[in-house]
A and B are shown apart, each in its own frame.
Chain A
């Protein structure tokens, strides 16, 4: 199976058939079901894909049809993507946790003709908006539970369609037709349309070709030397470009096995069982694991706490340098090795990171403390900067050049330039074709010479690493003229385990103020140990002692800001703790858990006003959406706290 052979295959269905021939008996996918890891090799996967493709053809699926894929990470859903591609149809993965309304927009906009979904929940959502989807010909579901009494005119069990396809393939003509359809695909065809969750406005359908995805996937494979022996767990949304590249494109190209967890809640266990070598997670996941460790260590015995603290200190001193292959004295190496036996290896095992070769975090800035912690205990965690429009890779951190506050160097064969405004623009093999049915938006983002505007402001540091500050449209100015990068400030706050989310205000204002969401696990545990009684998030958030604790964090952030000449003016003067957790169901966060600033400003206008008119309390009255779509009313008063601002030396303030 030389690389040359593979290089002639220019679509994923062709590559999968190639894998079935060259490494047919190696595992392609696993899924934990009924408590046992079930696995399928490449030959079985190819067989399923062909049968499903034939079944879909039997239902009338044609070239260029759009086929929605909705559900949690499951082998048959990944294979559904390949089955659609086999016919020349375009798969459109959709976030499975979107509510019916969001889903309707995408289904309607993409003119979806078929939907392949996981279960009743997704079927219900589609049926509730059926009237708006005239193009929809059929819905296929995997999990039959609860669907017995549904009208099966346009509804089919996936298993039946696969069986029908298998029967159809016994006919030589049908088999030849499918082979022809697969052979007809070229690298310039649209492979997938991925709708971006969109921090503003409606989602946009990013069209990526096979050439885009294959070229981009190869960048990552070559960069970290991935091969068929690697292991990965697929647990991030299938509609997200990262999962599409790591769990689909790269898995097919490198030939490694993708494991699907039993359920979203079991991911930590499942990760431990599989022991992936290649891991991807947003900063949130690493933060949560660390918070959990720290919370549990608080409850440990004195000796254990001492050992933990001692060896973490050793790790902080030497761990990263050992990982980066620097020169380290022998005594330090021995000390670290002892720590590895006693503390680091068990911790890595806890996190399911025992076999890790390389781990990536992206999407948001990660706290320097958190990042260094994982690296110091021997996890080769790195950052990358990417976008759907780039088929992921824009910058990567090469081994040995890891810094917590930059996102690394331009990825191989990707070119980056900075616009006069500071906005980052890139060009490379992964650059998307355009937004589906939206040439206007495409023109806004793509420059005439083929570069893509990222919408992020950044700069290169002295060593040529890119540093991202904030979204271009978010960076504002205070009324006295100081720079106001909200995300930069929020991230500094969020690095405290007690603070889960923060929203900073300050554009065209005379000072910076912010909303804070406390972390219920961390603060709840603290409350338990300190006898702070509370019955709900709301009560905990209003407790004056919690306010004291958060105020201390804010003051520390102010000190840090004061140390940076450009940021000194952006210190936080006032804050409040929101009585409810920001939630994607209420539209306050995107589905990828990013803050939707303008929406929050509007929704909590009364609180923002109170932050700036000097009052000691703000009132809140707002609707909250429960998971089932019902609405409730939240109202009450929220205390506002003033914080000490670190005085800035005069000279710098003047400058």
Chain B
């Protein structure tokens, strides 16, 4: 029961990405609808993270187009992607380790801050008002993610599961329309995974955020997502609801490795 609608938010059309002779992603097309939770799965090296990097502008594909909210994007930089409403988290947590949870999440508000450096320095009047408003928003996120108890703790000292949560918090601080999660549950124990699953569903429910996630845990993927796109060796091999994908022979082969053995013969 996500908040999926029929409206297409992001459309990836015939995208190919090469690094020299290495084909990371070949001729991939899929779309993400507004309000849905969309999973991208595939074996290691299938091109999932490359795909996310293409979406938020880290890589620029040699072929194909990406349409976000009805506008075709050309060679967009990550900060422009952020400005247009795309936030992400990383496979290996990328936080400011020496900074507190609060400050890390606050850094996610940077793009929403309008007063310049000198105003902030004076810290009076409008700049102060602005900071109070941002702090309130950040506190709402801290409350939402239930990390009040580590508000002032440097994130480097936190256990991994909590760091992942803080990173999600920083992405949420941007109030994104599209949230990209790169393996949000990697390396977590069962309890942490369940917590994280609940947060992802709650983000979708409460804020109506569209979510695209990469994940290896099939149970999680099948439970959370509305639709799943499956990549293998940089190609799309299936696309559909979790049930459709689960029964797709190509997917089964890719995961069990049968097809490749036959190919090599």
Please tell me which stretch of B64-72, B139-147, B221-229 contacts chain A, meaning at least 4 of its Cβ atoms lie within 8 angstroms of it: B139-147
Contact present for A626 and B190 (CB under 8 Å): yes
- B206 contacts which chain A residues (CB < 8 A)? 145-146, 148
Min Cβ gap B161→A in Å is 14
B-chain residues with CB within 8 Å of residue A490 when the two chains form the complex: none
Q: A34 and B190: CB pair below 8 A?
A: no
- Determine if B202 and A628 form an interchain contact, defined as CB atoms under 8 angstroms apart: no
1/0 contact string of B206-217 vs chain A (CB within 8 Å): 100000000000
Interface residues of A in 10-58 (CB under 8 A from B): 33-36
A149: Cβ under 8 A from any B Cβ: yes
Q: Report A374-422 residues with CB < 8 Å from chain B CB.
A: none
Knowing A145-B202, A148-B205 are in contact, say whether A628-B191 is a contact too (CB < 8 A). Answer: yes
For B140, give the chain A residue with the smallest CB separation. A34
A627 touches B (CB below 8 Å): yes
On whether A263 and B202 interact (CB within 8 A), knowing A149-B1, A626-B190, A628-B191, the answer reads no
Q: How far is A626 from B189 in the complex, measured between Cα atoms in Å?
A: 12
The residue on B at minimum CB distance from A146 is: B202
A5 lies within 8 A of chain B by Cβ: no
Determine the residue in chain B with the shortest Cβ distance to A262. B148
Q: Is B115 an interface residue (CB 8 A)?
A: no
Name B's interface SS: helix
Contacts of B139 in A (CB 8 A): 34-36
Decide: B191 and A263 in contact? CB cutoff 8 A.
no
Collect the chain B residues with CB atoms within 8 Å of residue A35's CB: 135, 139, 142, 148, 151
A-chain residues with CB within 8 Å of residue B201 when the two chains form the complex: 146
Q: Which chain B residues lie closer than 8 Å to A149 at the CB level?
A: 1, 205
Which of B144, B149, B151, B194 lies in contact with A628, CB distance below 8 A?
B194
The minimal Cβ–Cβ distance linking B146 to chain A, given in whole angstroms, is 7
Output the least CB separation between B153 and chain A (Å): 11
Binary contact track A264-279/B, C-beta < 8 Å → 1, others 0: 0110010000000000
Point out the residues of chain B lying under 8 angstroms from A36, CB to CB: 139
What B residues does A34 contact at CB under 8 A? 136, 139-140, 142-143
Taking CB atoms, residues of chain B closer than 8 Å to A627 are: 191
Q: How far is the CB of B182 from chain A (nearest CB, A)?
A: 25
Which positions 238-263 of chain A face chain B at CB distance < 8 Å?
Answer: 262-263
Is there an interface contact between B146 and A263, defined as CB atoms closer than 8 Å?
yes
Q: Are B205 and A263 in contact (CB under 8 A)?
A: no
CB-based contact B205/A626 at 8 Å = no
A232 vs B151: C-alpha distance when bound (angstroms): 23
- Distance in Å from the Cβ of A401 to the closest Cβ of chain B? 39
Most chain A beta carbons < 10 A, residue from B149, B190, B205: B149
Contacts A145-B202, A626-B191, A628-B194 given; indicate if A263 touches B149 (C-beta within 8 A).
Answer: yes
Q: Give the complex CA separation of A146 and B194 in angstroms.
A: 14
Closest-CB distance, A193 to chain B (whole angstroms): 31
| Interchain nearest-CB distance for B140 vs A (Å) | 6
For the complex formed, measure the closest distance between the CB of B159 and the CB atoms of chain A, giving whole angstroms: 13
The closest CB in chain B to the CB of A627 belongs to B191
Alpha-carbon distance A34/B142, docked complex (angstroms):
8
A149 to B146, CA, bound (A): 22
Chain B nearest Cβ from A538, distance in angstroms: 15
Q: How distant is B221 from chain A, measured CB to nearest CB, in Å?
A: 19
When chains A and B are docked, how far (Å) is the Cα of A223 from the Cα of B134? 48
Instruction: Tell me whether B1 and A263 are in contact (CB under 8 A).
Output: no
By the criterion CB–CB under 8 Å, are B190 and A263 in contact?
no
B2 CB to closest chain A CB, in angstroms? 10
A24–B27 CA distance with the chains assembled, in angstroms: 71
CB contacts (< 8 Å) of A265 on chain B: these are: 148-149
Q: Mark B120-161, 1 if CB is under 8 A from A, else 0.
A: 000000000000000110011011101011010000000000
Residues on A with C-beta less than 8 A from B198 are 146
Neighbouring B residues of A148 by C-beta, 8 Å: 205-206
Does B148 lie within 8 Å of A266, measured CB to CB? yes
Nearest-Cβ distance from residue A267 to partner chain B, whole angstroms: 9
3 tightest A-B CB contacts, nearest first: A265-B149, A34-B139, A35-B139
Which residues in B have some Cβ–Cβ distance to A below 8 Å? 1, 135-136, 139-140, 142-144, 146, 148-149, 151, 190-191, 194, 198, 201-202, 205-206
Q: A262-B149, A626-B190 are in contact. List 20 more A-B contacts (CB 8 A).
A: A34-B139, A34-B140, A35-B139, A35-B151, A36-B139, A145-B144, A145-B206, A146-B198, A146-B201, A146-B202, A146-B206, A148-B206, A149-B1, A263-B146, A265-B148, A265-B149, A266-B148, A269-B149, A627-B191, A628-B194
Would you list 8 pairs from A and B whose C-beta atoms are within 8 A, ordered by A residue? A35-B135, A35-B142, A36-B139, A145-B144, A146-B201, A263-B146, A269-B149, A626-B191
